[in-house]
Copies of this chain bind each other. A is one copy, B any other.
Amino acid sequence: MKTNGTVVFQSDFGLVDGAVAAMYGVAHAVSPDLKLYDLTHEIPQFDIWEASYRLIQTVEYWAPGTVFVSVVDPGVGTDRKSVAVLTKTGHYIVTPDNGTLTHVAQTLGIAERHEIEEAENRLKDSQHSYTFHGRDIYAYTGARLAAGLINLAGIGKKLLSDDSFVHPYTPAIITGGVIEASVDILDARYGSLWTNCPRDLFSEIGVKYGEYVGVRITHHGRIVYGNDLKYGKSFSDVNVGATLVYINSLLNVGVAINQGNFAKAHDVGAGREWLIRFEQTVGPWSIR
């Protein structure tokens, strides 16, 4: 897959200082013709899981050949690898191999994976800088890859494509009409739960739009929420302030309060310890 001259940056640097602008400067100096965009720079500090999720929220909407540079790097200076990968969807990701590729490996698949040879692929005169690989290694290498000045082979030695460092991840399963899934992430600003249960799996429990689904959320064995919720096409299928189950924009099952914040209302977080169960139910507030 040829790169297409576009770099999309993600980090946990925030936008309040010059860190992101320094990465942009490096990329622009590699080639002023590159198109430079942001995924987000507001990943919570050191939150590799969220960085991993934001990639699958966006990567596939960009044209194949786009290069993503993701820098959430609590281990800068350790022996964590720096890699450039090509996904099976034709997108490139340049990142520390520290779990950032967890969801990408799981849902898009990794076709090719190379370790960045840092001695060569490093901003000129940056050899005494040990704390900002985002600028010195990742932005520089991602930009050279996007500009076609280098290819994966030139970046460094080929590694096993399936051997990325990933966090444990349990896909949703269905057993006897009951789906066991997890809350993969929160839809940050709106507080909706985004689960890892795909629409196709959900359809197997046979609930139709307008009908009710039994929802139970647990955290380390404790029941945090249990209720029967309407399954709607969109938020407007319930009243403002009412709760619903819906299919989110990534075609996974979500749980939300229309114009409210479900996560805040019920103190629910995200990650594989936040389990969520769906099953058919005869109606709202049924005894179970």
Which residues of A are in contact with B by a Cβ distance under 8 Å?
4-6, 8, 12-22, 24-26, 28-29, 32, 35-42, 45-46, 54, 57-63, 66, 74-78, 128-132, 135-136, 187-190, 199, 232-237, 246-249, 251, 254, 259
Contact = CB atoms under 8 A, between A and B. Distances in A.
20 contacts: A6-B32, A15-B40, A15-B41, A15-B42, A17-B40, A17-B54, A17-B189, A19-B57, A21-B54, A25-B61, A28-B63, A32-B63, A45-B189, A45-B190, A45-B259, A76-B234, A77-B232, A128-B199, A130-B234, A131-B235
Contacts of A54: 17-18, 21
Contacts of A20: 40
A154 B32 CA distance: 26
A258 B66 CA distance: 33
Count chain B CB atoms within 10 A of each CB in A59, A187, A189 and give the residue with the most.
A189
A111 to B, nearest CB: 20
A14 B188 contact: yes
A234 B189 contact: no
Contacts of A4: 32
B76 A29 contact: no
A189 B20 CA distance: 12
Contact of A29 (B61, B233, B235): B61
Contact of A74 (B5, B78, B128, B259): B259
A17 B233 CA distance: 22
